[in-house]
Amino acid sequence: MLLLCHTAVIEGVSPVSFRFRRGFSRILSSYGAVSLAFFLGLGLVADGYFPDVPEWHLFRTLLELVFVVASVAVLRHLINRRYHRLRRVNEGLEARLVRQTEALRAELEQRTRTEAMLRQSEQRFRDLAESASQWLWESGPDQRLRTVSRRFDDATGLDGGVLLEAGPEALDLGGEAEGGTLRTLLDRQQPFQDVPVRFAHQGERRQFLLSGRPLFDAAGHFAGYRGTGEDVTERHLRERAAEQLRHRHELILNGLGEGVFGLDGEGRFTFLNPAALQLLGWSGAELAEKFAAIILAPDPADGFSEAAGQAGGPRHNVRFRRKDGSWLPVDYVWTAILENGEVNGAVVAFRDITAQLQAERELIAAKERAEEATRAKSAFLAHISHQLRTPLNSIVGFADVMKNEYFGPIGNDRYKGYVDDIGLSAAHLSEVIEDLVDLARIEAGKLVLHEQQADIAALVEDALAMVRPLAGQGGCSLLNNVPGNLPPVLLDPLRFKQVLLNLLSNAVKFTPEGGRVAVMAEMEPDGGLLLQVSDTGIGIGEEDLEKVTQMFVRGDDSLSNKPGAGLGLPLAKQLMELHGGGLTLASQPQHGTVASLRLPPGRIASPVGE
């Protein structure tokens, strides 16, 4: 640009003319104009360098403006360069700071994790130390305890400070361990495991198990012991109690008269008491760890092998083999020993039943003889009743003929009285024979009831009608208090009427003149029927109430002048029992007797409509 300006001046033309002739617009846009403006702005171009014409003044102003703009651009460029360099430096510092911060954060996080792990490890160790059954201890080179974990307080109920203050002299260190006593091991600075140690405090004796290992410092000098301890006082007491209990059980087993032996899961003997050895004829050494099969019968019907694997229970009449080869009949009880629901052994108690079997055989023989005697008695009663009835019927028949004078008059009134006596005696004898035969049938189980629905009121009225003549002779009254609306009852009418007749006859017989015999009946709350025959007679003593229902037994001996063989009440009682009911008596001397008949609800017909 400076060169162009010089050219224009040398050629004697103005810059404007030169511009138009040389393309002044290119000059202004070139780097030369910028250079000229730069030199002009720096004062490197003298004032007389440019012609004093308006165009040059304008050109100069433009160059100054270009200088300003170029200066600003250069300054901005420099500033931008400085800014970018500072920015790169700042970014580098920031990146470095970020990296260092991340590294520091990672280090802090790692340290935090490490500290947390250490705290967790310490807490885990503390939890284990406090929750374990054992407690931790540490001693110095003088064998005095320096620390005891808090678990000691919980496990023993003592304050750990008591153990620290007591010193080694309070501990009995004579417990035997592998390699010698505990005191010897401590003096030798050797490790030990589960050594019993006794500790006494205020009259209370505790037993510990101690384990420990020696400690040495960095220089190899002995620094004491560190280890664990466990309070086994309760365990020791339980073991001693268990030993005492085992000893008592052993004494009991040895004193039993019954044989007892134990088996393991494989069927081997674990113990036999003296009674078992004596009954079997073996010694304890001969059966020690032998299989139980050595005493068992080969016949599986004995059931001993079948009992194995079952929960247990009584077994009867099996055989055990003695040492001499003979067989011992026994009853035994098998009690299984269960572990996790599976049989892992058993305890067997047995007794010799040789005498029992002999007694049973004798009992069976006696029973057979008794049954044979019963059959013979029944046959005899049937035969003798026939033999008695035949002449008795003749006596009754001929007495009746003579009494009614079918073949003419007797001729003497006294003979008529004899005939009446003969008839009454024969009738009484006939009743006795019939009662005997009925009792024999009931005892032999051959009496069959012919049951049907019957009206109780009608049966009572018939029975009263039959004993009314007898009551008239004795001067006592009969009362019928049985309602007519009772439901029908399933029974044998003939046999039930026989019961009523026996009760009514007894009541009339033992009721003095002017007395009363009453019959009542009612339904009971359970649906059964109650019928009572009461009298105002002489009554029965309390000591005789049970006797009068036994065969051939009469109550008061002073009543021996009263007729009767003592069969009526026993027969009535057994007939009621055949009906599923019962007969009970209640009486007081001189106040009368109440005979109660009860029939169960199953024999009472339901009312119509139910």
Comparing 113-127, 161-175, 432-446, 570-584, the range with the smallest average pLDDT is 161-175
How many helices (H) and strands (E) are present in the chain, helices listed first?
17, 20
Q: What phi and psi values does residue 248 have, to the nearest 5 degrees?
A: -65, -45
Output the pLDDT for position 608: 44
Closest by alpha carbon to 489, among 520, 518, 531? 531
Pairing between β-strand 477-481 and β-strand 516-523 as defined by DSSP bridges? parallel
Residue 387 predicted with pLDDT over 50: yes
Give the residue-averaged pLDDT of 191-213: 79
HEC profile of 391-442: HHHHHHHHHHHHHHCCCCCCCCHHHHHHHHHHHHHHHHHHHHHHHHHHHHHH
pLDDT tens digit string along 65-88? 777 777 778 788 888 888 888 888
Q: What is the CATH number of domain 448-603?
A: 3.30.565.10
**In this predicted model, which residue has the larger pLDDT, 318 or 10?**
318
d(CA 344, CA 417): 92
Pairing between β-strand 477-481 and β-strand 342-352 as defined by DSSP bridges? unpaired
Cβ atoms 573, 583 nearer than 8 A: yes
Residue 272 predicted with pLDDT over 50: yes
Q: Is 315 helix (H, G, I), strand (E, B) or coil?
A: strand
Q: Amino acid identity of 334?
A: W
- What is the average pLDDT value for the chain, to the nearest integer? 77
> Under 8 Å CB-to-CB from 566, ≥6 apart: which residues?
548, 551, 552, 553, 554
Q: How many beta carbons lie within 10 A of that of residue 487, not counting itself? A: 15
Closest by alpha carbon to 434, among 393, 483, 406, 492? 393
**In this predicted model, which residue has the larger pLDDT, 222 or 401?**
222
Every domain of the chain and the residues it spans: 2-95, 132-238, 256-352, 380-440, 448-603
Cβ atoms 526, 516 nearer than 8 A: no
d(CA 160, CA 154): 10
DSSP designation for 190: -
Q: What percent of the chain has pLDDT over 70?
A: 72
Separation in Å, CA 268 to CA 263, 274, 295, 354: 5, 18, 11, 26
Buried-exposed string 499-525: b where 16+ CB fall within 10 A, e elsewhere: bbbbbbbbbbbbbeeebbbbbbbeeee
d(CA 546, CA 159): 78
Global pTM value: 0.41
Residue 228 predicted with pLDDT over 50: yes
Cβ atoms 344, 263 nearer than 8 A: no
**Residue 272 CA to its chain's centroid (Å):** 31
Partner residues linked to 320 by β-bridges: 296, 328
Confidence category of residue 383, pLDDT binned at 50, 70, 90: low
Q: How many beta carbons lie within 10 A of that of residue 565, not counting itself? A: 15
d(CA 295, CA 321): 4
Inter-residue long-range contacts of 340-348, CB under 8 Å, 24+ positions, other chains counted: 343/265, 343/308, 343/309, 343/310, 344/264, 344/265, 345/262, 345/263, 345/264, 345/265, 345/270, 346/262, 346/263, 346/308, 346/312, 347/260, 347/261, 347/262, 347/263, 348/260, 348/261, 348/262, 348/263
pLDDT tens digit string along 570-592? 888 989 999 999 999 999 888 89
Q: How many beta carbons lie within 10 A of that of residue 608, not counting itself? A: 6
Place of tokens 């009721």: 511
Residue 305 predicted with pLDDT over 80: no
> 132-238 and 256-352: same fold?
yes
Give the residue-averaged pLDDT of 357-381: 82
> Under 8 Å CB-to-CB from 591, ≥6 apart: which residues?
536, 539
Give the residue-averaged pLDDT of 552-569: 59
d(CA 193, CA 319): 53
d(CA 521, CA 90): 127
Place of tokens 């640009």: 1
Cβ atoms 197, 207 nearer than 8 A: yes
Structural domain 256-352, CATH architecture: 2-Layer Sandwich (3.30)
Comparing 289-298, 321-330, 594-603, the range with the smallest average pLDDT is 289-298
Give the residue-averaged pLDDT of 92-120: 86
Tokens encoding 332: 């035994």
> Under 8 Å CB-to-CB from 491, ≥6 apart: which residues?
449, 451, 452, 454, 579, 599, 603
Domain 132-238, what fold?
Answer: Beta-Lactamase (3.30.450)
Q: What phi and psi values does residue 157 have, to the nearest 5 degrees?
A: 75, 5
d(CA 280, CA 143): 61
**In this predicted model, which residue has the larger pLDDT, 199 or 479?**
479
